């Protein structure tokens, strides 16, 4: 065992020394390799983290939403539908929600208006998201005025801003009291934007949705899982689009690494001949070259992955932000929760380290099986 | 110690450019002696050296090391014999560029799994005995011809082989350096090593340290004294 360990150590030392001898080639390879791992890992880490973020946010949302449809369009829903829903067995609670969008000409941005039920907001006051604070330069105590549906002026006094921690979902929020919301949009009492339903047993969601649908034929039922799937699709699509755009550079890397790793120079062939002549077995030569390949690919993988981690979770993924996050006037400023998926790491590892190692071993095996007497000639 | 009987070696066998480098060699190399293969360019002396040193296998005939027939052994076994029995000093020295002289000396021992510190001590001791200790940390490409050859000799001795094989050892050296080399050969012989060399340099062939000169021409043995 000791002999085996000494041999591995000696070969590793020699492989490091060999790499340092070809400094230019090694550093060039390492730089390109690290860059490609960085780019791929950044896209994967970002997409995965944001999907997870969306799932975490949605976990707190109601399992079932009921919206009224008129001529295929979403319309206001009467409060009496709540009684029908509460009558369905398995429904834990049902309540009406008021929400909508308001265009602010002063900021040229759309706000999401909502009426929170807990805690309630005092009439005439507003709680605003971080994005609204930025575009309106608003501080607590400031006044904000909007034209209501009938042209009258509705004024709000900023109560406070929502913490930046939740900016991903709250950047464009504008929370107002129920009375103010109804006055602004002219929504009569007894009407809601939609209804939120909680169920007792999550496994019964599908069945309960069917019952509500049967009881209220003028409505459509939106399940939380469906929203989650929509988010997944959006981010999958964006990740895929970015990866397709990057495919060119990945292909260029593949060609570059194949050429660099597989093309043995005359000097390298000569060295392999010398090693064999002085008593190295073919297996020793292949092991040495595999170690060289592993040192390069593992270093590139680790450095690339760590850089990607820092890029995504500490620097806000600046390079891919516009593609992966989308665009808005009220761009949320937030920091993603670091999350690393083992399967994703393994996939990236397999598709970067493995091909490179194979690319290096094949030509070396070819060179290493030549007769050692070549060096005498 | 090494016995060859009717050894033949062909290159590109079966092709239009087939060439027989050795055409039936019978020879015995005695242990602890210095033997020189002499002959003009193309006479087959280097080929003979590669067969004796387990660097290649004969096309036909037998090569025996002591009483073991090694002519038909697979590559793996030949490598094992080569690194435990033979040390090589090549004509162009074949040192690896970009690494230090002492690291070059240690290379043949790496696959044997010897302790790194012991190995380094032995390499330095060998270099000191060959009077090149001062060059231990110089890169191989910075060494002069004579220094490079002594590093190559130290490399050949790192695994303490019984036989040292040197291909045209004085071809790249001036007379003074050649004499120094023969002094090293004398030391090796005195320590019980068998030395095999190829050379057409009279300075080598006619020196007193050489016990046995084998003359070759056109792949055949023409004289042995």
Q: Using one digit for the tens of pLDDT, what is the confidence trace for B133-171?
A: 999 999 989 998 889 999 999 999 999 999 999 998 888
Tell me how close the Cα of B39 comes to any Cα of chain A, in angstroms: 16
Examine the pLDDT at B12 and tell me if it is beyond 90: no
> Which of B196, B128, B127 minimizes the C-alpha distance to B168?
B196
| Chain B residues touching residue A370 (CB < 8 angstroms) | none
pLDDT digits (tens, 9 = 90+) for A128-142: 988 888 888 888 899
| A357 token code pair | 């190692």
Q: Where are the domains of chain A?
A: 8-58+232-376, 64-222
Residue A178 has pLDDT above 70, yes or no: yes
**Per-residue pLDDT tens digits for A140-155:** 899 999 999 999 999 9
Is there a contact between A125 and A156 (Cβ–Cβ < 8 Å)? yes
Residues in A closer than 8 angstroms to B79, CB to CB, are 276, 279-281, 372
Q: What is the pTM of this model?
A: 0.71
Q: What confidence tier does A106 reach under pLDDT thresholds 50, 70, 90? A: confident
Chain B segment 76-95 residues within 8 A of A by beta carbon are 76, 79, 82-83, 88, 90-91, 94
Answer yes or no: do B107 and A275 touch at CB < 8 A: yes
Q: What is the mean pLDDT of chain B?
A: 89
| Site of tokens 């040390």 | B87
Min distance A289 CA to chain B CA atoms (Å): 13
Residue B54 to chain A, least CA–CA distance (Å):
9
**What's the CA gap between B78 and B73, in Å, rounded?**
6
- Distance in angstroms (rounded) separating the CA atoms of residues B84 and B104: 18
Mean pLDDT in residue range A18-34: 85
- In eight-state DSSP terms, residue A265 is -
- Tell me the nearest-neighbour CA distance from B33 into chain A, angstroms: 22
Distance CA B103, CA A18 (A): 11
Task: Quote the percentage of chain B above a pLDDT of 70.
Answer: 99
What pLDDT, on a 0 to 100 scale, did the predictor assign at position B158?
Answer: 93
B19 Cβ under 8 Å from any chain A Cβ: no
In angstroms, the first-to-last Cα distance of chain B is: 17
Between chains, do A376 and B46 touch, taking CB under 8 Å as contact? yes
Query: Could you report the per-residue pLDDT of A45-79, keeping only the tens digit for each?
Result: 888 887 787 777 777 778 899 999 999 899 999 99
Spatial CB neighbours of A2, under 8 Å, sequence gap ≥ 6 = B113
What average pLDDT does the segment B50-57 reach?
Answer: 88
pLDDT, mean over chain A: 84
Q: For residues B42 and A40, give the distance between their C-alpha atoms in angstroms, rounded to a whole number.
A: 58
d(CA A45, CA A42): 5
Residue A375 pLDDT exceeds 80: no
Across the interface, whether the CB atoms of B116 and A10 are under 8 A apart is answered yes
pLDDT of A179: 93
Task: Give the per-residue pLDDT at A328.
Answer: 62
Residues 252-281 of A with CB under 8 A from B: 267, 270-271, 274-281
């Amino acid at each position: 065992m000791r002999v085996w360990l000494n041999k591995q150590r000696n070969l590793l030392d020699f492989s490091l020394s060999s790499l340092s001898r070809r400094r230019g080639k090694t550093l060039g390879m390492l730089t390109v390799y690290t860059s490609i791992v960085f780019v791929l890992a950044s896209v994967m880490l970002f997409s995965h983290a944001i999907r997870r973020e969306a799932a975490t946010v949605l976990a707190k949302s109601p399992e079932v939403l009921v919206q009224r449809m008129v001529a295929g369009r979403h319309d206001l829903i009467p409060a009496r539908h709540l009684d029908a829903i509460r009558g369905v067995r398995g429904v834990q609670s049902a309540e009406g929600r008021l929400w909508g969008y308001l265009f602010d000409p002063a900021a040229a941005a759309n706000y999401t208006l909502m009426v929170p039920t807990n805690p309630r907001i005092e009439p005439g006051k507003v709680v605003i998201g971080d994005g609204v604070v930025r575009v309106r330069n608003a501080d607590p105590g400031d006044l904000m005025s909007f034209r209501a549906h009938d042209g009258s002026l509705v004024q709000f006094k900023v109560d406070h801003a929502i913490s930046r921690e939740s900016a991903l979902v709250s950047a464009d929020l504008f929370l107002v009291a129920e009375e103010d919301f109804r006055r602004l949009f002219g929504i009569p009492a007894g009407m809601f934007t939609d209804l939120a339903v909680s169920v007792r047993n999550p496994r019964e969601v599908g069945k309960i949705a069917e019952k509500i649908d049967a009881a209220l034929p003028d409505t459509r039922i939106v399940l939380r899982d469906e929203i989650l799937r929509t988010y997944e699709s959006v981010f999958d699509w964006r990740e895929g689009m970015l990866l397709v755009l990057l495919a060119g550079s990945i292909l260029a890397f593949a060609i570059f690494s194949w050429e660099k790793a597989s093309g043995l120079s005359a000097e390298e062939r000569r060295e392999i001949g010398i090693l064999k002549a002085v008593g190295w077995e073919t297996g020793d030569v292949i092991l040495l070259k595999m170690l060289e390949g592993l040192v390069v690919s593992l270093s590139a993988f680790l450095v690339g992955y760590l850089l990607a981690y820092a890029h995504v979770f500490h620097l806000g993924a600046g390079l891919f932000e516009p593609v992966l996050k989308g665009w808005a006037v009220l761009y949320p400023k937030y920091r993603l929760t670091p999350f690393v998926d083992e399967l994703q790491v393994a996939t990236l590892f397999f598709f970067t380290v493995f091909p490179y190692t194979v690319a290096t071993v094949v030509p070396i095996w070819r060179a290493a099986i030549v007769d050692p007497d070549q060096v005498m000639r | 110690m090494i016995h060859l009987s009717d050894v033949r070696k062909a290159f590109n066998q079966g092709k239009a450019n087939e060439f027989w480098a050795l055409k039936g060699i019978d020879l015995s190399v005695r242990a602890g002696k210095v033997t020189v293969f002499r002959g003009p360019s193309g006479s087959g002396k280097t080929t003979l050296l590669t067969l004796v040193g387990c660097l290649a296998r004969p096309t036909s005939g037998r090569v025996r090391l002591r009483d073991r027939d090694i002519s038909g052994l697979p590559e793996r076994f030949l490598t094992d014999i080569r690194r435990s029995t033979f040390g090589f000093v090549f004509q162009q020295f074949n040192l690896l560029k970009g690494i230090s002289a002492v690291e070059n000396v240690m290379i043949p021992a790496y696959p044997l799994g010897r302790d790194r510190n012991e190995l380094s001590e032995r390499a330095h001791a060998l270099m000191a005995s060959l009077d090149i200790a001062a060059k231990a940390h110089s890169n191989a490409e910075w060494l002069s011809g004579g220094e490079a050859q002594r590093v190559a000799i130290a490399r050949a001795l790192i695994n303490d082989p019984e036989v040292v094989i040197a291909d045209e050892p004085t071809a790249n050296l001036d007379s003074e350096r050649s004499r120094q080399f023969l002094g090293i050969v004398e030391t090796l012989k005195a320590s019980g090593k068998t030395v095999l060399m190829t050379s057409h340099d009279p300075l080598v062939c006619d020196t007193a340290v050489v016990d046995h000169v084998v003359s070759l021409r056109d792949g055949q043995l023409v004289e042995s004294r």
